[in-house]
């Protein structure tokens, strides 16, 4: 019998001292920076990735680069994608800087 998928629900986002937070449903595959693209679809989610580099204030991005990525990104409030139902699934660092992964339940066509 196939494994039953749990409906992923939004949770209160409580960012850490560096401004990061990840939903506990995020799959742990040992590579915390890897985006689990197929996992989203398998769980009935669509996703949208917002990069601080393109979304955050210029000053914050400059401070982040100057600090070599060892900096607090909590002043960044990621822009929510257009449409209804989006919630934060993760705000974490990548090789290219902080990103916010937004998800929502797939909308039936």
Residue 32 clears pLDDT 80, i.e. is over it: no
Per the prediction, the chain carries an average pLDDT of 87
Contact 2, 65 (CB under 8 A): no
Nearest to 52 by CA among 34, 72, 22: 72
Contact 99, 51 (CB under 8 A): yes
Tokens of 41: 């679809």
What pTM value is reported for the model? Answer: 0.87
State the average pLDDT over residues 14-38: 83
At residue 5, the pLDDT reads 65
């Amino acid at each position: 019998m196939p494994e039953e998928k749990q409906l992923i629900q939004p949770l209160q986002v409580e960012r850490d001292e560096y401004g990061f937070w990840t939903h506990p449903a995020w799959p742990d595959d040992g590579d915390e920076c890897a985006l689990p693209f197929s996992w989203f679809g398998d769980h009935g989610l669509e996703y949208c990735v917002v990069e601080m580099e393109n979304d955050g204030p210029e000053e914050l991005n400059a401070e982040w680069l100057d600090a070599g990525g060892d900096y607090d990104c909590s002043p960044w409030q990621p822009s929510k994608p257009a449409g209804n139902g989006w919630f934060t699934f993760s705000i974490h660092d990548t090789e290219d800087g902080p990103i916010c992964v937004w998800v929502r339940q797939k909308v039936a066509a």
